[in-house]
Structure 1
Amino acid sequence: MAQVAERAGVSRTLVSFILDGKPGASDETRQRVLAVAEELGYRPDSAARVLAQGRSRTLGVLMDVQQLHQAAMVTSIYPAAEKRGYEVLLSANLPDKPEAHSIDALLAHRCGALILLGPGSSSEYLSDLSQRAPTVVVGERLPERASEIPLATVRTDDVTGMRMAVDYLVELGHRDITHVDGGGDPGSDDRRDAYRQAMRDNDLADHITEVPGAHNEAAGADAGRAIMAGAALPTAILAGNDRCAFGLLDVLSRGGLDVPGDISLMGYDDSLLSDNPRIDLTTIHQDPHELACRAVDFAVDLLEETARDSYDIVLEPSLKVRGTTGAPRPV
């Protein structure tokens, strides 16, 4: 509000009157103030104003309701926030709705800080967003932040996770390991690059094979059909995430292939259905509880301006060996 007043050349009190729709200003002054407010992106219910008034103890959480791994995090975010004396307001990230609209809704409901689970927005947008409210991004690596920007990241070391997956498959005897990537979904670039590097480090550069995908079952099914239509089957497939692996498993099984007898399959996340006896998916485990608790702590610390040495927490993954992987069938 002070910035609007300075830019418009009026008092802060007059700006408050105009933005609240109260009389006391000429039409010309009113239009000038409203234009400046629009230019600066001022919103009466933005987190900045709420913090200044000291009234918000609510953390806004954005999640994709179709991602089981994110659902597991949400169940831990609520008690973690309650422990710090905060409430949680949840907003869904839907495929047919701009992500920014869901985020704006959280800010309009006076959330003091934001926790974004696997957002698809650009790093530039997220950096700008953090100027409106302290922001924690979960599951995505962002460029190094400036120290004064209230933007933090909590994530799993995807490079280590993909290396674990490739090394494990190589130890089983696999060489033809295909990666079905996550397309433009969060974390996909790091996982794709890590797969390539792990294959090179195992002297398998000539066996690097990638199939376009995304972090959902439909993309996994499409990738499965493409793989089955190829000239030769790989002996192992490493999916970009568990949901992609579920789609692959369905198509491969319906196509008459035995998993893991004919082809081994791995996912990434260790989401809620992965250990279901009918699925029994070998995967890379991310700890949703720890990710959630660290994200809440970050959000509260940013909101309360508690100093930290680092604003990027990287957790270690682990390998969960189940029934969808085995040694390749002898030729």
Structure 2
Amino acid sequence: MAPSSPVPDGKRPTLADVAARAGVSTALVSIVMRGVKGASDATRERVLEAARDIGYRPDTRARLLRSNRSRLLGVQFGLQHPFHADLVEGIYAAAEPAGYQVALSAVAPSRSEQHAVDALLGDRCEALILLGPQAAAARLKALADQLPVVCVARRLQAPSGNVDVVRTADDEGARQAVDHLVALGHRDIAHIDGGKAPGAADRRRGYRTAMKRHGLDHHIRVLPGGLTEEDGAAAASRLLGSQHRPTAVLAFNDYAATGVLDTLLRSGVTVPEEISVVGFDDTRLASLAHVNLTTVRQDATSLTEHAVTRAIARLEGKRTPDRDTVVPPHLIVRATTAAAPLPS
């Protein structure tokens, strides 16, 4: 039986601890942990068993730093953007099989984008994947002069320098939503705007374009909104307080849409019998049984696979001619839309 070598409480087990536990040299443990030749099968198994016994985990980041590579993708995301959680999950799924790790840095009301990016640069990330960044294009270009930068879910007006863009066709998603509502007989369709959030301008433009195409110019109504349930609720309250209620509402995102649904429910307005509601993103919230929201799906898997592929391609010197990758959206019809009510 291999000699025991207890590790003091609170101390991270080291190669030396594994070696003492397995009764071999530290050099032999290093060979086993690096997966190179030089240890018999029996010795390799004994070392791995000892590592499991004492809870040893190789410090892969330290090893990569010694090799002058971090293989670390830095991801900036927004705490107030629920869809970013889906994107982060997709980035992990795409990065780890390719041999890259992910470092996260959040943007919050008390933490700026600049702070979030500086933290990632301090972690020696090799590339940045920025989810819905609001920084000026010049700032993004300056970052891209230092390391590969991929912006996800934001359109950048040309020229964007060396910045790669992966985004949804937000204007097309809004057009799909309006087309769906018009096909159900709706004419009075309001849009709750996303303010300055990435994608908001395209969704607003898509809504206006679709309304005009259907000859509904006089029914165009854009209300100030935002990203949150509170923003959606406030906009819905304004609609209910107006002289002329719409028969359908397209919200900037799913969370704003749930704020609309809550306000309508509390006001005794039935959905979709009196007012139909459409969200955007198709977050997990939208598919919950008690929400069952009609929404425009952003393909999080496709967006993140493209983003990670672009970042890694830049790092490995591969050719990537297209800097703007646009992923099509898809309308998901659920229970919050129905035929427009008959005029009273």
Cα distance in structure 2, aligned partners of 1:328 and 1:138: 36
Cα distance in structure 2, aligned partners of 1:134 and 1:185: 23
1:235 corresponds in structure 2 to 247
Alignment length (residue pairs):
279
1:209 corresponds in structure 2 to 221
Residue in structure 1 matching 2:108, options 94, 99, 121 = 94
Residue in structure 2 matching 1:163, options 157, 175, 200 = 175
1:140 corresponds in structure 2 to 154
Q: Which runs of 4+ in 1 moved over 2 A?
A: 65-68
Checking the alignment, whether the CA contact within 8 Å between 2:189 and 2:249 is kept in structure 1 is yes
Matched, 1:181 2:181: no
TM-score, scaled to structure 2: 0.79
Structure showing greater radius of gyration is: 2
What residue identity is the alignment partner of 1:71? A
1:5 corresponds in structure 2 to none
Cα distance in structure 2, aligned partners of 1:59 and 1:328: 48
What is the CA-CA distance between 1:67 and the residue it aligns to?
2.4
TM-score, scaled to structure 1: 0.82
What is the CA-CA distance between 1:217 and the residue it aligns to?
0.9
Unaligned runs of 5+ in 1: 1-49
Cα distance in structure 1, aligned partners of 2:159 and 2:149: 12
What is the CA-CA distance between 1:134 and the residue it aligns to?
1.1
What is the CA-CA distance between 1:66 and the residue it aligns to?
3.6
Residue in structure 1 matching 2:89, options 75, 78, 95 = 75
The residue matched to 2:281 in structure 1 has which SS? coil
What is the CA-CA distance between 1:54 and the residue it aligns to?
4.2
Matched, 1:276 2:250: no
Checking the alignment, whether the CA contact within 8 Å between 1:145 and 1:151 is kept in structure 2 is no
2:30 corresponds in structure 1 to none
What is the CA-CA distance between 1:304 and the residue it aligns to?
2.0
Unaligned runs of 5+ in 2: 1-63
How well do the aligned residues superpose, as a CA RMSD in angstroms? 1.5
Checking the alignment, whether the CA contact within 8 Å between 1:58 and 1:86 is kept in structure 2 is yes
Cα distance in structure 2, aligned partners of 1:124 and 1:214: 25
What residue identity is the alignment partner of 2:86? A
Cα distance in structure 2, aligned partners of 1:62 and 1:215: 17
2:9 corresponds in structure 1 to none
What is the CA-CA distance between 1:272 and the residue it aligns to?
0.9
1:60 corresponds in structure 2 to 74
Cα distance in structure 1, aligned partners of 2:150 and 2:275: 39
Structure with the bigger RCO (C-alpha within 8 Å, sep 6+) is 1
What is the CA-CA distance between 1:194 and the residue it aligns to?
1.1
Q: How does 1:1-40 map to 2 (within 5 A)?
A: none
What is the CA-CA distance between 1:237 and the residue it aligns to?
0.3
